[in-house]
Homo-oligomer: A and B are copies of this chain.
Amino acid sequence: MPGTTASAATHETRETPISAPVILAVSTVIFALRPNETGPATVWIPLVRRIREPFEGLWAIPGGALRADEDLASAARRTLEETSGLTPRYLEQLYAFGSVDRAPGTRVVSIVYWALVRSEEAAKATESENVRWFSTDELPTLAFDHNEIVAYALWRLRTKMEYSRIAHAFLGDTFTLAQLREVHEAVLQRPLDPANFRRMIEASKTVVDTGQRVTGTRHRPPRLYRYDSSIDLADVGPLSSI
């Protein structure tokens, strides 16, 4: 950073700046829910197969080099769109990974984002020989340090799901409370009390009743809710304005 140069110059013998062969990349862990044939829905992520060394043939999270004229989040959105054709409903920076030895031969610093996409959109997303969806609890060995990155992203998703209201990013414009609860249950991997969940959501004031109901079920028709967009999805402090 700029402040750096000045301070270093002030306090130490200035070394010839190594025109650092550091490559800056932006990658994204993309989460979607997939309804499971047996049992509840689970969390899935799309991965891309490496077609060159290092780690040729292994799967990796999608990403790409940062272009000079785009913001970090823009780069995340772009590479996300390029690989999977998806548009995220939620996107947040996860962490910058920069261990010296994380990429054999080269020095790569990856600024990683995590994203949530709608289940319905994920279902029709691009999938090919080199792009495939994986269940997060059945991941193969990934390229680089991507297993650790996914593990951390999953931890953040679960942690944030408990104190924030991001679950509806997996859903369509309107949804029932049961659907919203299924999202929480899939991410947290434990059943939630429907009664208490209802009160918890109502207390948060993040959803509004559309007045509509879902008919055709063989039980009492549930209300349809819409997310109240006047309230921020997640609390990121003063960062939201930057």
Contact = CB atoms under 8 A, between A and B. Distances in A.
B63 A109 contact: no
B98 A9 contact: no
A217 interface: no
A36 interface: no
Interface residues of A, number: 78
Main secondary structure, interface of A, reads: mixed
Contact of A1 (B2, B26, B69, B131): B26
Interface in A90-121: 93, 95-100, 103, 107-112
A21 interface: yes
B100 A71 contact: yes
Contact of A5 (B64, B99, B126, B145): B64
A128 B143 CA distance: 47
Nearest to A80: B7
